[in-house]
Structure 1
């Protein structure tokens, strides 16, 4: 045990050292305010300085909520301290609680005796997020005027100012849509996001961070509950979604379980998991429906091509099951933070992924990719294209062998806040998206978007793209391939032809349960051809009708007879 005198001396030395470090942190701060500690007793000043340093350490560790817990306590007795207000405003910007950021930063801006350069930048971000575009532009101009020509050349403020101009342009010419909050059956007082709908429009899944999550755990970095996946069914009688429940079966665990999409046939759910010691930086898993209700334990979508040592997420597949789109942060052929990739089925495995290129991907983040059941229309969220601010939804169409230049979906689909994970129904009339817009019930809510008049009246979409998007109508055809004697399921390739043009449309393969599923343009005649060495050839022709009021679904079982 230390002698009492030595203990006191050591404590005094440590106290002096900490105060010295604190003063250095203040003097070499990124924002010059001078020292405005309380002018009370020395102990009060020491307490303030020490805790301001603790808060700055938390900020440097990007633990902004931890910093705010320290600053909020100091604020009770130091509400007019400018450096404290600046620090709090800065933290609130990083966690996107912009109304609180504005409250603190406006106190700093109102003071004429200090250097307000960085405060203008952060309050500009806050104003922009809150949709106060004129105020944001002025704040950014004030910040820009404080930079040298060289500093200004590649500064982020140029992009933010351009986003403000884009926001004003899009708000002045809103697209013709009706946006509706999905209400209490889907949304909670917490985060509800990442909606995905089956091709028949009957099943909705999404990710939620609610207190009743499976493990009951809270993520320290954001003070939110862990992710769980929820499911809801469409009720034809009430024309609404049923009360969402945790998806039954073995998908949700004590850890984070976030959906990326449900397959068009409603038989698979793609899941993002990041398990310490198991996954790399976050991998894509897939769960298969075991019966009418329950879902199997998710397994990695692959161990070779799709999942890598980098972050992978946002997986979805085309209606024929042959192509996967996903987001990866792999560095080798990437353009930015998260890029969109495509992988094509090679037998039963996924082939080598291909980056969609600089038309789609930017140096910023692309996330939340969704491929429409037509197989040629891509929707995704991006920070890098011409956004209004934050993440916006963009659309691209595959035509003439390449992806078209992405189109901002316009206001009010997009806002100055974050819009992520946009999915469009098979008939193209209803979309679903998650957004942090201010009228939400929780931190992030899920909304439906009436798209029935969107394409006709959007001048930004060229005639060829409008034709691709607005027609022809799609219908679903599904069924099982079975042995004619034993009724055992058969996994086999099905070749689909346009019967009128005698042209091959695509090839699909029934799964291990013998099930197949595809969406095709309606009001056309098709030919299904099956050749399997043990069975007699099957060759059938039929007309696929168009639905009225909803997507038409045809069930056609294929019975193979042994040779």
Structure 2
């Protein structure tokens, strides 16, 4: 080996070691963020690592998980997680995350299959930490709601920090104000919780509705009613009886000024995932709340929909949603309350390359023909 060749060899070897060391540091940083639950921050690091090592199943699992919990386009997580779970040595939680990816993108059948597989590979401790019973029920709820899909006109949409989302509501036509739950209405469990309770205060004196864990928290958050007394104190809160509360969380109540239409968010009833918005009818004379009705796909998604407020005429509503939102962010919507049926077109078929009949992999993009807005992206499976 000549001296020149030897120098070149050492130079390339040193560069390779430097690059390798950089990858190790990048992986360590990504893993640290992942373990802290800072998925949005970890996501670009894992994306870079997967581009360097696309066959690493664990990296694919971690990137897919980050997209679910930290990204806007949850659908992109499916491909990474499907590839990850092909290796039995990846964490059992990968099947759970694949189920979440399917669940959040309305593929309820696939989500149920993934949750069922997760049950088969997870140990008792993990199943206790990450149960799927309620998630499976929400998928079945979603399947039922799919039979009646409607849509609403969106007047305004704004992505904001989830900790401050209520400050961005346009209350013109609605009135009242949204405030942080007063200390006097908090139970001991509420005070220990990291969640910040919110309450809508109407302009006119009358009942005030709020959510609380109560004394024991046995049924999660429930909705209570109180009134502001002349001396500025609150009357003793009373838990709503009847159909409203369940063994899951109920939150963000709103009584329409007509005293009859009552809206709230719930993880129970027939929620398709997270908090769904429900409405029921209140009989002021009998003080009875009727059976809640899911506002279905016109408003709700498998993610969280919260704090649904309607104007006095009942034509416009504001609410917040986790759909297509980054980690620690929510979208605040102002929409028409008029729902219109959605026409569904199903395009079904198989793909094979004209150049290589064995090539069954394709990336399909669906766009609006007029606006060119990208509506959906999907990858074919191994069978095309």
The TM-score normalised by the length of structure 1 is: 0.48
Name 1:347's counterpart in structure 2: 230
Q: How many pairs does the alignment contain?
A: 316
Distance 1:341 1:107, change over 3 A: same
Once residues 68 and 171 of structure 2 are traced to their aligned partners in structure 1, the CA distance between those partners, rounded to angstroms, is: 34
Cα–Cα, structure 1 residues 450 and 63, in superposed 2: closer, same or farther, change >3 Å?
Answer: closer
Q: Secondary structure at the match of 1:100?
A: helix
Q: Counterpart in 2 of 1:103?
A: 79
1:378: how far off? 1.9
Higher RCO, 1 vs 2 (CA within 8 Å, ≥6 residues apart)? 2
Q: Report 1:295-374 matches (<5 A).
A: 304-305=184-185, 309=191, 311-318=195-202, 320-328=204-212, 330=213, 332-349=215-232, 350-356=234-240, 359-374=243-258
Secondary structure, aligned partner of 1:411: helix
Q: Corresponding residue for 1:415?
A: 301
More helix by proportion, 1 or 2? 2
Which residue number corresponds to residue 187 of structure 1?
157
CA deviation profile, 1:455-485 (whole Å, cap 9, x unmatched): xxxxxxxxxxxxxxxxxxxxxxxxxxxxxxx
In structure 1, what is the Cα distance between the partners aligned to 2:84 and 2:77? 11
Q: Which residue of 1 aligns with 2:377?
A: none
Give the Cα separation in 2 of the matches to 1:378 and 1:415.
20
Tell me whether 1:448 sits opposite 2:335 in the alignment.
yes
- Deviation for aligned residue 1:179: 0.2
Which residue matches 1:161? 136
Deviates most, 124-133 or 412-421:
412-421
CA contact (8 A) 2:261 2:279 kept: yes
Q: 2:61 aligns with which of 79, 86, 90?
A: 86
Q: Which residue of 1 aligns with 2:266?
A: 382
Q: Secondary structure of the residue that 2:121 maps to in structure 1?
A: coil
**Partners in 1 of 2:183 and 2:305 — Cα distance?**
31
Q: Give the equivalent residue in structure 2 for 1:269.
A: 177
- Relative to structure 1, the CA distance from residue 341 to residue 260 in structure 2 (aligned partners, 3 Å threshold; closer, same or farther) is farther
Deviation at residue 180 of structure 1 after TM alignment:
0.6
CA contact (8 A) 1:368 1:422 kept: yes
Once the two structures are TM-superposed, the CA of residue 125 in structure 1 deviates from its matched residue by 0.7
The structure whose Rg is larger is 1
Give the conservation status (yes or no) of the 8 Å contact 1:261–1:270.
no
Q: Secondary structure at the match of 1:416?
A: coil
1:55 alignment partner in structure 2? 30
Retained in 2: the 8 A contact 1:366–1:382? yes
Q: From the superposition, tell whether residues 263 and 93 of structure 1 become closer, same or farther in structure 2 (CA, over 3 Å).
A: same
What's the TM-score, normalizing by structure 2? Answer: 0.67
SS at match of 2:264: strand
Inter-partner Cα distance in structure 1 for 2:272 and 2:38:
27
* 3-state SS in 2 of match to 1:187: strand
The alpha carbon displacement at 1:165 in A equals 1.3
Displacement of 1:380: 1.1
What do you get for the CA RMSD once the two structures are aligned? 3.9
Q: Give 2:113's aligned residue.
A: 138
Structure 2 unaligned segments of length 5 or more: list them.
1-14, 342-384
